[in-house]
Structure 1
Amino acid sequence: MNFDPVNAKMEGRQPVGMDTATADLFPDEFEDSPLGKIPKGWGVGKLDDLIHILSGGTPKTSVPEYWNGDILWFSVKDTPSKSDVFVIDTEKRITRLGVEKSATQILPKGTTIITARGTVGKLALLGVKMAMNQSCFGIRGKNGYSDFFIYYHLCSVISELQRQTHGSVFDTINRNTFTTIQAVLPSLEIAQAFDYNLKAVMDKILVNLFESRTLATIRDTLLPKLLSGEIRVKEAEKLAETVT
């Protein structure tokens, strides 16, 4: 975890890129803890002190009525790149009946998904609500700890989570794994300030993803028509302008 604001204040400097109100939330000294030096007044606890853990499931693939609906259904194949952060679409979709007849559940936007079996430790932040399979956990913050803070806090401990994997066939993490990871716990005010200061950047990333998807749809729709001569370039440009 980055303690640069504390180091800056110890040296009598204003933390870089931080307004005075946010900087005032940080102490100007460290104290000893089981994890080494941490900002004074912060705590050390287990990772599951910060989070609620949610499970997923898979509807029976032999029942057609459970599949190809309008509910997004996340699996490890849908994990976004680190730079994209968010997942806004999935390879497979399920129906409302598929949700009702399986162990999956619909997770709200802002939930962090972590892959927990086979390919362990891939992270995705939900840009829209969706369900997920049983090889993942959905992570929500407890006690007011919010979406972006939880996502990036998990990023900071992901290597330790991966080291705790076990299993005779597949690497696996389970609910108990989260109780074995010690975490530095900042004040709720600092976590909320983190989300507040990051929100504009994260919103922009999400908007860009939706725009990229729209442009890809336009390309895939218009290109065959251009190649076949069904429409001309000028017509395609006008159609693209009406969407963008």
Structure 2
Amino acid sequence: MSNKRKTCKAEKAKVQGINPKLRFPEFRDAEAWKKQRIENLAKRGSGHTPNKKTPGNYNGGIKWVSLADSKRLDNGFIYETTFEISKEGLKNSSAVLHPPGTVIVSRDAGVGKSAILYSAMAVSQHFIAWQCDKSKLSNWFLYCFLQILKPSFEMVAVGNTIKTIGLPYFKELRITVPSLIEQQKIADCLSSIDKLITAQTQ
């Protein structure tokens, strides 16, 4: 195994909380990772479902992520959505248009599934949406961290028919982060590993 792949594996373990001594060479003497609330690193938002009994609320060209898009999640970017809403749908509901690069995670059915918006999209109330402060948090690093936290999400979800995670949990959710430069290096590394695994399993 190459030194680069060994380092990538170590960095992935660190994100999981093992915190090994091995880091990318340029960061070995860097400051320790810090545990912070996502609330302090990104602007949190959510969404809504426009009234389906009003035809004018839908098919207006605005991509809208819903539980129907479960299979499109956990693949990095989400490019398309099953349903689209209209400007009227936005106006007549609590739905908002989130900018490209926003990180979303499902808090209901398919709990813990996440993605990064490739373009501006709205989401249903079943999702938490984080717009990262680019000076503090890499959206790809956050996405990778959320992927690793999926087992934890499944454990804290409650409900008999449909398991869900309450908003207070996400308000207090903390992640451990290094410097922004190291975040991006790790995110690039993990992304390359995921692409390699995907290619080998196809």
Q: Normalising by the residue count of structure 1, what TM-score does the alignment of the two structures yield?
A: 0.62
What is residue 36 of structure 1 aligned with on the other side? Answer: none
Pick from 113, 120, 139 the counterpart of residue 122 of structure 1. 113
SS of aligned partner of 1:140: strand
Q: Distance in 2 between matches of 1:162 and 1:51?
A: 23
SS of aligned partner of 1:129: coil
1:61, distance to aligned residue in structure 2 (A): 0.8
Q: Distance in 1 between matches of 2:168 and 2:160?
A: 17
Tell me, yes or no, if the aligned pair for 2:67 and 2:109 is still in contact at 8 Å.
Answer: no
Q: Which amino acid aligns with 2:29?
A: P
1:26, distance to aligned residue in structure 2 (A): 3.3
Q: Distance in 2 between matches of 1:61 and 1:75?
A: 13
- Whether 1:173 aligns to 2:165 is yes
Tell me, yes or no, if the aligned pair for 2:22 and 2:28 is still in contact at 8 Å.
Answer: no
Pick from 127, 132, 138 the counterpart of residue 136 of structure 1. 127
Q: Which amino acid aligns with 1:53?
A: R
SS of aligned partner of 2:36: strand
What is residue 178 of structure 2 aligned with on the other side? Answer: 186
RMSD: 3.1
Tell me, yes or no, if the aligned pair for 1:6 and 1:26 is still in contact at 8 Å.
Answer: no
1:160, distance to aligned residue in structure 2 (A): 1.5
What is residue 26 of structure 2 aligned with on the other side? Answer: 24
Tell me, yes or no, if the aligned pair for 2:57 and 2:87 is still in contact at 8 Å.
Answer: yes
- Whether 1:91 aligns to 2:85 is no
Question: What are the superposed Cα offsets for residues 37-79 of structure 1, whole Å, 9 maximum, x if unpaired?
Answer: xxx6222233444333211001111111111111011112213
Q: Which amino acid aligns with 2:93?
A: S
Task: For 1:53-64, list aligned pairs within 5 A.
Answer: 53-64=44-55
Q: Distance in 1 between matches of 2:19 and 2:37?
A: 24
Moved over 6 A (4+): none
Q: Are residues 25 and 5 of structure 1, via their aligned partners in 2, closer, same or farther at CA, if it must alter by over 3 Å?
A: farther
Q: Which has the larger Rg?
A: 1
Q: State the structure with bigger RCO (CA 8 A, min sep 6), 1 or 2.
A: 2
Q: Distance in 2 between matches of 1:116 and 1:104?
A: 16
Q: Distance in 2 between matches of 1:138 and 1:53?
A: 6
Q: Structure 2 unaligned segments of length 5 or more: list them.
A: 1-11, 196-202
Tell me, yes or no, if the aligned pair for 1:72 and 1:89 is still in contact at 8 Å.
Answer: yes
Q: Are residues 173 and 129 of structure 1, via their aligned partners in 2, closer, same or farther at CA, if it must alter by over 3 Å?
A: same
Q: Which amino acid aligns with 1:59?
A: P
1:176, distance to aligned residue in structure 2 (A): 1.2
Q: Normalising by the residue count of structure 2, what TM-score does the alignment of the two structures yield?
A: 0.74
